[in-house]
A and B are shown apart, each in its own frame.
Chain A
Amino acid sequence: MSNKEKRSDGTLKNNRAKYLFLMPGVIWILAFTLFPLVYSFGLSLTNYRLGKNPKYIGFENYAEILGIGDEKVDKKAVSTASFSAFLFLGSTAATLIFGTFVAWVFNHNLPFLRQMRAIVTMPLFAAPIALGWLGVVLFNEQSGPINNVLEGLGLGRVNWFIEPMPARFAVMFTDVWQWTPFVFIVVLAAMQSVPDDLYESAQLDTKSNWNLFRWITFPMIAPALGTVMLLRMVESLKIIDIPYSLTRGGPGSVTQTYVYYAYEKGLVGSFQLGEAAALAYLLVIVSIVVSSIYFYRVRERFE
């Protein structure tokens, strides 16, 4: 990085040019990310509904959601947040475990693995809204292949869209299916950077695959796992497309995520934009916490 120092002592002309490169992007972000975020905060302090005049009400929306003071806690906010927490924990854990396992499988020098690897990554790039629809077909109670397979195995049919717990898992499975390849490609990249001689010397002591993984591979890929875990956490808080098309949030609202609830509140039906903005802002705070940890971890990379 020392040559960066050398390059930074530019002339006056250079100093002006460097801002010209950066400015268009900075202006864009100010206009379309930062400004909306400030706007959103302002909205969250009002009782704005589409078609009505907004009135400043301070932090009343927040008090209503969180049940502070005289207000009762917004039960739906709590229940949808708990489903989001279910995905936050369940989906993150499952994708990490499966993704690491798949990476371990593909980190062998065997024929055809490379071709198969490309196929394994396919779900990651499909539109989540389309995958939700795919789930509708696959999880169908009467004719879906998943129930057919379960019945064939003697496990019986599951009412994926009628019973709350199976519906929650249907959403989670679809998300896990989409995101496992993400963990897979990141962890595989990390595994492939582990030097061979580490294994060679370790093999003098143990022949067990598990021991090799536990004492060599795992410590070496731990930083990548940490990074990918934080990214998965952030993404899992944003899930809306899959339940939107797979379950419509049902049965009842048991598969409605927190963002889905904010979306519904502000942008469907009564358009309670003020309240929806407050709901969204509470999540922004969580996202800022998680992303700060993330950027703290990866800061050297961007210097």
Chain B
Amino acid sequence: MAAKTDSLPLMEPRSAFTRASLSDRLIIALAIICTFIAFSPFGYAVLTSLKSEWKDGSIIPFLQFEPNLLNWQQEFGSGGAETIKALRNSTLISLGATAVATTLGTLAGYGLARFKYGIGNRNLVSWFLSQRFLPPVATLIPFVLMFRDLKLLDTLPGMVIVNATFTLPFAVLIMRDYFADLPPELREAALVDGASEFTTFWRIALPLARPALVASTLICFAFAWNEFLFASVLANRDWKPYPMLVAGSDTVRGIDFGFVTTRMLIAVTVPVILSLMVQRFIVRGLTFGAVKG
């Protein structure tokens, strides 16, 4: 059930009306052009990553080559230790951040959907979301000093804290929206039966909110996975995540296009796949709920 709801595409196509003056064929052609523009850079990167050396002289460089997996072997083989470690770091950091953000976000989201607070729920929601509006440098500078004093520089807990902080708004929003859409009678019935607020949340609301929980988890994971700026300052040795490896691609061997595109593709694969799975929640998540997808 949960999986099914999740994989629902963004929205159902409407029974569009034939717009007489433009033929359907033209629309399809335009759609193909849009798709080509969106996809071709990735496609070009795939081709480039399959080349072991770049020949400047060839007339159609992206066709005149023999594909091979040398770049990929190198990334995971001989030079692989660094790659594997960075991927492990990215995974652990993103998992930790996702766990923290989703836990806090689920609790707060439930509270905001089910109770009324004195300060005003809309103020509280805005307050939770405002983090996304701040320029990251503004918090990054104090984070350096705080982490230095707390001995959190270049540690897993430090990176989890940072990433959980800026993914928390997505979790709060997605969970709040979902809980708010559940029928309130469920909670009231459970309370009448003598269940405590927490039991009601844990036994009734949370199991029903599984699709939102999945979406929140995947979105938080994808955003934490993409984070570069904080990592570049707060974790530049042992806990370097994969985007830092991508950022430093040129210092290893000059700019080797095959190498750069291989790393770039590894970096984008995870978030792109995860996000395609939760398209329906992405619109809400990214507009902070202003638009319901």
Q: How near does chain B come to A4, taking the closest CB pair, in angstroms?
A: 6
CA distance A300 to B184 in the complex (A): 19
Q: Beta-carbon contacts of A176-216 to B below 8 Å, as 1s and 0s? A: 01001110011011101000100110010001110010000
**Could you tell me if B289 and A283 are in contact, using CB atoms closer than 8 angstroms?**
no
Stretch at the interface among B68-76, B80-88, B161-169: B161-169
CA distance A244 to B145 in the complex (A): 23
**Could you tell me if B243 and A127 are in contact, using CB atoms closer than 8 angstroms?**
yes
**Could you tell me if A276 and B141 are in contact, using CB atoms closer than 8 angstroms?**
yes
Q: Beta-carbon contacts of B97-125 to A below 8 Å, as 1s and 0s? A: 00010011101101110111100011011
Question: B30, B121, B141, B286: which contacts A40 (Cβ < 8 A)?
Answer: B141
B1 within 8 A of A: no
**Could you tell me if A32 and B44 are in contact, using CB atoms closer than 8 angstroms?**
no
Q: How near does chain A come to B266, taking the closest CB pair, in angstroms?
A: 9
Q: How near does chain A come to B118, taking the closest CB pair, in angstroms?
A: 10
CA distance A273 to B139 in the complex (A): 12
Contacting residues of chain B (34-73) with chain A, CB-CB under 8 angstroms = 34-35, 37-39, 41-42, 44-45, 48, 54, 56, 61-62
**Could you tell me if B14 and A192 are in contact, using CB atoms closer than 8 angstroms?**
yes
**Could you tell me if A203 and B16 are in contact, using CB atoms closer than 8 angstroms?**
no
Question: A25, A39, A189, A228: which contacts B107 (Cβ < 8 A)?
Answer: A25
Interface size class on chain A is 35 or more
Stretch at the interface among A72-80, A86-94, A232-240: A232-240
Please, which residues of chain A bring their CB within 8 A of the CB of B261? Answer: 133-134, 137
**Could you tell me if B139 and A7 are in contact, using CB atoms closer than 8 angstroms?**
no
**Could you tell me if B10 and A117 are in contact, using CB atoms closer than 8 angstroms?**
yes
Please, which residues of chain B bring their CB within 8 A of the CB of A196? Answer: 14-15, 17
CA distance A110 to B25 in the complex (A): 9
**Could you tell me if A280 and B135 are in contact, using CB atoms closer than 8 angstroms?**
yes
Please, which residues of chain A bring their CB within 8 A of the CB of B107? Answer: 21-22, 24-25
With A189-B293, A267-B141 as given contacts, are A7 and B116 in contact (CB-CB < 8 Å)?
yes
- In the complex, what residue of chain B is closest to A27 when comparing beta carbons? B104
CA distance A241 to B244 in the complex (A): 11
CA distance A18 to B126 in the complex (A): 18
- In the complex, what residue of chain A is closest to B60 when comparing beta carbons? A148
- In the complex, what residue of chain B is closest to A195 when comparing beta carbons? B14
**Could you tell me if B291 and A190 are in contact, using CB atoms closer than 8 angstroms?**
yes
**Could you tell me if A267 and B16 are in contact, using CB atoms closer than 8 angstroms?**
no
CA distance A134 to B56 in the complex (A): 18
Contacting residues of chain A (99-121) with chain B, CB-CB under 8 angstroms = 102, 105-110, 112-114, 116-121
Please, which residues of chain B bring their CB within 8 A of the CB of A209? Answer: 19, 21-22
**Could you tell me if A127 and B19 are in contact, using CB atoms closer than 8 angstroms?**
no
With A17-B196, A127-B225, A302-B289 as given contacts, are A133 and B139 in contact (CB-CB < 8 Å)?
no
CA distance A148 to B272 in the complex (A): 28
Question: B56, B114, B247, B274: which contacts A244 (Cβ < 8 A)?
Answer: B247
A262 within 8 A of B: yes
**Could you tell me if B111 and A18 are in contact, using CB atoms closer than 8 angstroms?**
yes
Q: Beta-carbon contacts of B145-184 to A below 8 Å, as 1s and 0s? A: 1100000000000000110110010001000100000001
**Could you tell me if B115 and A134 are in contact, using CB atoms closer than 8 angstroms?**
no
CA distance A290 to B291 in the complex (A): 18
With A129-B247, A238-B135 as given contacts, are A280 and B255 in contact (CB-CB < 8 Å)?
no
**Could you tell me if B56 and A142 are in contact, using CB atoms closer than 8 angstroms?**
yes
Please, which residues of chain A bring their CB within 8 A of the CB of B165? Answer: 28-29, 32-33
Q: How near does chain A come to B128, taking the closest CB pair, in angstroms?
A: 7
**Could you tell me if A259 and B111 are in contact, using CB atoms closer than 8 angstroms?**
no
| Known pairs A122-B272, A245-B246 / 11 extra A-B pairs, C-beta < 8 Å | A21-B111, A29-B168, A37-B138, A109-B16, A120-B35, A121-B275, A121-B279, A134-B264, A137-B261, A267-B141, A300-B122
17 contacts between A and B (CB under 8 A): A18-B114, A29-B131, A33-B165, A108-B24, A117-B10, A122-B42, A125-B274, A133-B247, A133-B261, A208-B21, A241-B228, A259-B136, A262-B141, A273-B145, A298-B289, A300-B122, A303-B121
On B, residues with C-beta under 8 Å from A are: 9-17, 19-22, 24, 27-28, 30-32, 34-35, 37-39, 41-42, 44-45, 48, 54, 56, 61-62, 100, 103-105, 107-108, 110-112, 114-117, 121-122, 124-146, 161-162, 164-165, 168, 172, 176, 184, 187-188, 191, 196-198, 201, 222, 225-226, 228-229, 233, 243, 246-247, 249, 255, 257, 260-261, 263-264, 267-268, 271-272, 274-276, 279, 282-283, 286-293
